[in-house]
Amino acid sequence: MDAKKIINIAVIAHVDAGKSTLVDGLLNQAGVFRDNQEIDAQVMDSNDQEKERGITIYSKNCAIEYKGIKINIVDTPGHADFSSEVERIMKTVDTVILLVDSSEGPMPQTRFVTQKALELGLHPILMINKIDKKDQRAEEVVDEVLELFMELDADESQMNFPVLYGIAKEGIAQYDMTTPSKDLSPLLETIVTQVGSYDTDLSANPTRMQVSSLAYDPFIGRLGIGRLFEGKAKAGQSVSVIRNDGTQYNGKITKVFVYQGLNRVEVEEASAGDIVVIAGLPEISIGDTVGELNNVKAMDPIKIEEPTMSMNFLVNTSPFAGRVGKFVTSRNIKERLEKELEVNVGLRVEPLVNSDVEGFKVLGRGELHLSVLIEQMRREGFELGISSPEVIFHKNPQTGEIMEPMEKVIINVPTEYSGTVINKLNLRKGMMLDMDSDGVRDKVTYNVPLRALIGFRSEFTNDTHGEGILVQSSNGFEPYKGAIESRQNGVMISMANGVTVAYALSGLEPRGTLFVGPQTEVYEGMIVGQHSRSNDLDVNPTTGKKLTNTRSSGTDESTKLSPWKKMTLEEALEFIEWDELVEVTPDDIRLRKKWLTINDRKRHRNDQKKAIEEL
């Protein structure tokens, strides 16, 4: 297809603003789906975890045609932990559709993705979504976005952005609030007008492409995905590749693919302006520049924000290790993490030194970023021991001062709960930036150390009875804020191996919250509940009732237990302290102490004091 008839766009927004739903509408209007085809909602969210969590995790490509123009569409994640997925694809597109909720307005992640787009000189198209909401305030939101652009130092041409209004789930976009529309044609017309045609035929120039994403095919190996900025990419073409570090090597493109609808279609050659997929270069990596053989000019490296949090991925050493997992050794874990590094640019992996257990330190953009990887590995058959999350501190090169990552937190809670939440954020060294109330709900903005938010989300949910909304995004680094109190409660630790019985658990119920039910296998050192007090408590959940040959009235009734708390992976990671681990297997998620026996834990009390002092 002629390069003058190709436009590349990305849909960017905060989480839950309707990005994937809008892409569904564009695909539907373009006739990608058959009339009798059964279509899942958010069809681009094809990964199992994306469907279960209801969020976009990985950037994905598709393409439609409109009036003879091919429009490549990139659906991007909205959660701050996956912002590296957004950063790297910005250079492949001509413009972005900035989607903003008509009620919520610009949220923290909206600021981040907009800033990246403006820095690259893109001219966003603003679409105010969900205008059918009862509490919509579309016109105010437009003004808020304009203020955001001013804060981000947008130039005059970027400030003059087109505005549309719509309902993505109904496939509707309109030019203003009073002129109804039947489909997304106003949005498509705006895209064509905003981007226009290429000024020159870049296909005549030498080949030049930058890889922004990677994929893997079991038959043809690693695939490089990116925009073809100049020239043509042909099957069988010999090329030179310049890595991010400046080194160069030669290779051959064996296959070329482009996108049509949701499918990847093989072609003999692709022209400048298109988003292409190339095979045949097994060492290709994100940020690499692919060009004419011995005649390639490197493009600017793709810069990715540094990780802010780390966890240790350890070999599972519990008594139940190897029962259900297929991959349990250090070598298995190493190979899997190396494979993940090829496609997950926001991740870093370091081998552990001076550790009692073999494993790796994995650095990522947040708890969700790392927990998605852990969950994926669990489903693939891995067994792991995961340590508590730790934030990554930096040292100011000028002053030598310790700097810690901060988060901008926006909470929206019913007024009766706001006092409790504000008090807890204050205790966590948070600084209130703004507060607004309509008499029913309060909207509070805070600047909080990232380490203070570890474990806070579950507390927040309980304190607001599930009615609160909390969103957060990275807010740079600030000087270390001092010690922050950690978990207030101790845990109940099994001191025996065996199977839990209801009789023993009924005796433990008054002591705290149970994490296991009856007929559950436990081992010495496994955490079976949260203690109601601050100290750890060694218990025996396997003790049965002593039987006698004497029966008395009322003593043989069946034991009734309250529902026990079954921890999710995220809840478990937030809950554990420095001397505890999450045991992750394909079938179970368990909590345990690093040192399983009482004597071992006593021997490491000095380590505990030292760790608390360091924290």
Q: Is 400 annotated as a binding residue?
A: no
Q: Is 19 annotated as a binding residue?
A: yes
| Maximum Cα–Cα distance across the chain | 98
Strands (E) across 155-230 are located at 163-167, 172-174, 208-217, 221-230
Q: Is 17 annotated as a binding residue?
A: yes
Q: Is 226 annotated as a binding residue?
A: no
Q: Residue 582 has which token pair?
A: 């999450």
Question: Is residue 538 helix, strand or coil?
Answer: strand
CA 474 vs CA 109, 213, 381, 576: distances in Å: 8, 23, 33, 23
Q: Are 160 and 166 in contact (CB under 8 A)?
A: no
Q: Is 527 annotated as a binding residue?
A: no
Q: What's 284-344 look like in SS3?
A: CCCCCEEEECCECCCCCCCCCCCCCEEEEEECCCCCCCCCCCCECCHHHHHHHHHHHHCCC
Q: Is 182 annotated as a binding residue?
A: no
Please report where in the chains the tokens 């540094």 appear, as a residue. Answer: 306
Q: Are 489 and 533 in contact (CB under 8 A)?
A: yes
How many whole angstroms separate alpha carbon 363 and alpha carbon 42? 30
Q: Are 80 and 365 in contact (CB under 8 A)?
A: yes
Q: Is 110 annotated as a binding residue?
A: no
Q: Is 130 annotated as a binding residue?
A: yes
Q: Are 101 and 17 in contact (CB under 8 A)?
A: yes
Q: Is 271 annotated as a binding residue?
A: no
Q: Are 194 and 95 in contact (CB under 8 A)?
A: yes
Q: Are 251 and 47 in contact (CB under 8 A)?
A: no
How many whole angstroms separate alpha carbon 385 and alpha carbon 576? 12
Q: Are 484 and 429 in contact (CB under 8 A)?
A: yes
Q: Are 335 and 74 in contact (CB under 8 A)?
A: no
Task: Tell how strand 125-129 and strand 95-101 pair up.
Answer: parallel
N-terminal to C-terminal alpha carbon distance within the chain: 59
CA 145 vs CA 110, 271, 314, 469: distances in Å: 9, 36, 45, 21
Backbone angles phi, psi at 564, to 5 degrees: -90, 160
Bridge partners (DSSP) listed for residue 527: 493, 591
How many whole angstroms separate alpha carbon 3 and alpha carbon 362? 42
Which sign, positive or negative, has the C-alpha torsion 325, 326, 328, 332? negative
Angle at 63 between CA 71 and CA 110, to 5 degrees: 75
Please report where in the chains the tokens 């981000």 appear, as a residue. Answer: 152
Provide the residue count of the chain.
Answer: 615
How many whole angstroms separate alpha carbon 538 and alpha carbon 511? 11
Q: Is 20 annotated as a binding residue?
A: yes
**Binding region for GTP:** 16-21, 129-132
**Binding region:** 16-21, 129-132
